[in-house]
Amino acid sequence: MYNPVKIMTLSNSTSPSSRSPKVARTAHHQLEALKLITMVVADTGDYEKIKQYKPEDATTNPSLVLQAVQSPEYISLVEEVVQQCKDSKLDAPNLVSDICDHLAVRFGVEILKVIPGRVSTEVDACLSFNIDAMVRKAQKLIELYESHGVSRDRVLIKIASTWEGVQACRELEKLGIHTNMTLIFNYHQAIACAQAGATLISPFVGRILDWFNKNASTKESYTKLTDPGVVSVTKIYKYFKAHKHETIVMGASFRSKDQILGLAGIDALTISPKLLQELEQSSEPLERALSPDTLDSDVPVVHVDEETFRWELNEDAMATEKLAEGIRNFNADLQKLKKIVSTMM
């Protein structure tokens, strides 16, 4: 006999962040309870794990694809993709890049077989400051998905939230290509993405906490609501709801279950298999932290042009450092993936 998880909700809205009616609900565990009020997205390229936790959407990045291709259970898929591409007349560097694009899409195609929603696939981090190159890469990835019979409506193209990334987002959304703007650490970054019409943004939580833990003169103990990453994402969420932006806010990059619970009720959360497991194994009560119907609507409008974007990022040491670090790390893992592919050609 299980101990049901009780969740109190405050809204009867049918928006992504308000899935439960205005009554107390019970669930078998915290993960099930969370799914009642927030879209749960799997943060992994391992579609066997995705089958296990039954999220609505899934998101990948070069680091997650790198982990997946090194797993013995996926080696046959990798070899199949390499064989299909290797007869191309592209020169070696371009061929390796082409294979990596096909691999990212193939993992996405397999993931879409086990989820009802959308998958996110990332544009190369090394293109993060080239608008035209990001747009071309996004179009190529969509064409690859469509060659597998996957509609573009089931794909989100992930782009780093540089100023150039924001402009690429604007162009892609006009073309009917949906975007997931990632590596967001700053309020003005997020607002710029919404003003560009991004379908979804991924503001990071855990990496913000990492920065504060590393740079604070004295170590602080945070609660699930005072954690600086949770505070940052909550502020973004409140602005979007106050000004009725349709862009989905999806918290990302978690270090603990408490960070997830601090954002319970937000539009979406992308969660690693480890933390999905912790939620599934917990029967503790889950309290809703965010709801669009209980927010202060008196939030000043902010318009973000290029000057404002660059200045506000410059003034935010944490966001500047973590954005640059994130782009470097994603690119480093893409280069590792390319090395693995080159040995298989």
158, 241, 257, 322: the active-site residue: 158
259's tokens: 């960070």
- 3-state DSSP call for residue 218? coil
Instruction: List Cβ neighbours of 104 (8 Å cut-off, separation of 6 or more).
Output: 60, 65, 121, 122, 141
What is the rounded CA–CA span in Å between residue 64 and residue 78? 14
Torsion of CA 246, 252, 256, 259, to 10 degrees: -30
- Residues 228 and 222 sit within 8 Å (Cβ to Cβ): yes
Please report, for residues 88, 102, 329, 334, 336, the alpha-carbon distance to residue 343 in angstroms, rounded to integers and kept in the order given: 16, 16, 22, 15, 11
Taking alpha carbons only, the member of 300, 309, 257 closest to residue 281 is 257
Return the structure tokens found at 281. Answer: 């194994």
**What whole-number distance in Å separates Cα of residue 8 and Cα of residue 49?**
29
Tokens of 238: 């409140």
Quote the crossing angle between the two packed helices 317-344 and 75-85, to the nearest 10°: 70
Please choose, from the candidates 263, 137, 264, the residue with its C-alpha nearest in 3D space to the C-alpha of residue 209.
Answer: 263
Report which of 129, 134, 81, 135 is spatially closest to residue 104, judged by C-alpha positions.
81
Active site residue 339: no
Which residues are registered as beta bridge partners of 121?
157
- The angle formed by the CA atoms of residues 65, 66 and 72, to the nearest 5 degrees, is 95
The residues annotated as belonging to the active site are 158
